Amino acid sequence: MQSNQSKAFNEEFRSFFSLYLVNLVLAALTMALGLAIVVQEVVSPTAAVLAPVSLLQVIAGGIAFVLGLVWITATARLLRGIRVVRKAYRENKKQEMSPEEVTGMMVHLMTQYRDQKPLIRAMVVICSVGGICYLLLGISNLISAIVPLASGLPVPFSAGAILPFIAAAINLAIGAGCLRVSRYFRRYAKVWDTRLGALAQSEGELAQMLEKA
């Protein structure tokens, strides 16, 4: 049976690593969907004279594509930095970790967080911006779908009439997911900042004790 320390560390590390992977998926989706939106609007028959809503979609899609590239690059750097800790974790998770091993793994994670702190803080901003872009795209999809219905003209039921609603639902869901990931990154940053502060304080107290000895 796992000790409380070992179990707590396993749960925290799995959730932390899963957060990285989910972040990578969102980054890839952001880049792919951003490119798809830009291409769709540019090659459409009405591309010569873009409507305000279509222009908004092109701008938001272009921002999402560039953001996705930056997002993927930053997330890949985070994953490369944590792979050493993951290797040690995979070796130890099959057995009960002693308190010393748990402490060693925590020190590894704290070191990685300290090295990657600027990137993780950047992830908070990037995920927030990505979420806002998706929400804007979802809203524009809804406007595109509602405008023909609000015009009073008969709109034939077809797959093309439903697609904007489906696209809106997908974009709004991913946008909410991005904002949630940003919240989790912010929460982890707060926890690890507290731990680093406690470590710095204990190191300072130890240094004072050594000076008095």
- Note the pLDDT tens digit of each residue in 81-120: 777 777 776 766 656 667 777 777 777 777 778 888 888 8
Side-chain half-sphere of 172: how many Cα atoms within 13 Å?
11
pLDDT at 1 over 50: no
**pLDDT band for position 80 (cuts 50, 70, 90):** confident
Letter for the amino acid at 167? Answer: A
- Note the pLDDT tens digit of each residue in 22-75: 888 888 888 888 788 777 766 665 544 555 556 776 777 788 788 888 888 888
12 neighbors 3 (Cβ within 8 angstroms): no
Buried/exposed code over 151-174 (b: 16+ C-beta within 10 A; e: otherwise): eeeeeeeeeeeeebeebbebbbeb
pLDDT at 159 over 60: no
pTM above 0.85, yes or no: no
pLDDT at 7 over 70: yes
Low-confidence winner among 122-131, 175-184, 192-201 (lowest mean pLDDT): 192-201
Side-chain half-sphere of 204: how many Cα atoms within 13 Å?
6
Position with higher pLDDT, 53 vs 165: 165
Rounded to the nearest 10 degrees, the angle between the axes of helix 99-150 and helix 4-42 is 30
